[in-house]
Amino acid sequence: MSNAIQGQCLCGQTTITIENGDSFKDQILCHCWDCKQSSGSAFSTNVLAPVKDTKIEGPTKEYSVKALSGNTVTRVFCGNCGSAISHRSVAFGEGAAIQTGNFKYFADKPVGLEFFAKDRWTAIAPIEGATQLNTQ
């Protein structure tokens, strides 16, 4: 049985627990414009975790927007400090993209996949060994 891992937002009021968290070997970078804007950076770092294995506690707010795919993406963020927590879409099936910047656990985990590589900022090189996809 794998162990749960826990992360938290910047202010610490919202916690995220992923059961079987140590099963994640790779992270996903997303270079889409929605992820850039919601993270306030050049990309977001994520893992796709089953919703049933993910527990978010504390003050949260949600924001839904229609993505270029036509699917609605619902972004969850801390209701106090605004840290991005996760986002959900029908494209993820029974999963949710969990922002790994809230977990010290992921600091040494490699990136295995980059989405929307076509929108990568030119100053940022592709991650060596990561699969590059121009869409999701």
Question: How many domains does the structure of the chain reveal?
Answer: 1
Q: Is the pLDDT of residue 108 over 60?
A: yes
Q: Structure pTM?
A: 0.92
Inside any domain, residue 82: yes
Inside any domain, residue 66: yes
Task: Give the confidence band of 22 by pLDDT, cuts at 50, 70, 90.
Answer: confident
| Domain range enclosing 89 | 5-130
pLDDT one-digit tens code per residue, 27-70:
999 999 999 999 999 999 999 999 999 999 999 999 999 987 88
User: What is the per-residue DSSP string for the chain?
Assistant: -PPPEEEE-SSSSSEEEETTGGG---EEEE--HHHHHHHTSS-EEEEEEEGGGEEEES-EEEEEEE-TTS-EEEEEEETTT--EEEEE-GGGTTEEEEEGGG-GGGGGPPEEEEE-GGG--TTSPPPTT-EE-S--
Inside any domain, residue 136: no
